[in-house]
Amino acid sequence: MDYIYKPAKYFTYGWGKKPVLIVVHWVAGSFNSCIRTFEEGLRQASAHFVISKNGDVVQMVDLKNRAWHAGKSETKDFGPYCNNYSIGIELEGPPSFVGLNGWNKEQIKSLVEVCHHIQKEIPTVQYITDHSTISPGRKIDVKGSTGNKVDIFPWAEFMNLAQMTEIK
């Protein structure tokens, strides 16, 4: 898998718990503005990976460390504060925000490759979800709705390719 490493300003060394989950987000802005925000610490946030609408990948936090991507969050299976046990991936999008008529196949392909790379590096990571699922009412994200049909993420197609267990 080809990617560039650009370190985020904010992250935590090590893990609170063993990582078991990937959380997919979208960034309501450009790929470059997301990277700049994480690099410069414009918000106290970060993600392990950022994927452009064209499928380019930048890693921003080493997989040995916790990114600050989930904020106030929880799963029934693993508990509160998902940053302690999850890998964060940001997708440039949604499509209507970045001038596309739907999610780009190259971006989905890169997302699948990143998920497989993560599972190879950290075999305990077997689960996946999106930010709106772990922060209901607080976030509208990949499986959420902007009200625009072009923004509907092909989650079922992605899950078929990723071959991971979904946290709902």
Active site residue 40: no
**Catalytic pick from 74, 90, 113, 166?**
90
| CB atoms near residue 133 (< 10 Å) | 21
pLDDT digits (tens, 9 = 90+) for 138-164: 777 788 778 899 999 999 999 999 999
Domain ranges within the chain, ordered by starting residue: 4-166
Indicate the average pLDDT of the chain. 94
CB 111 within 8 A of CB 62: no
Read off the DSSP letter of residue 29.
B
- 91-139 pLDDT, tens per residue? 999 999 888 999 999 999 999 999 999 999 999 999 999 999 999 877 7
111: helix, coil or strand?
Answer: helix
Q: What percent of the chain has pLDDT over 90?
A: 86
Fold of 4-166: Lysozyme-like (3.40.80)
Q: What is the reported pTM?
A: 0.96
SS3 112: helix
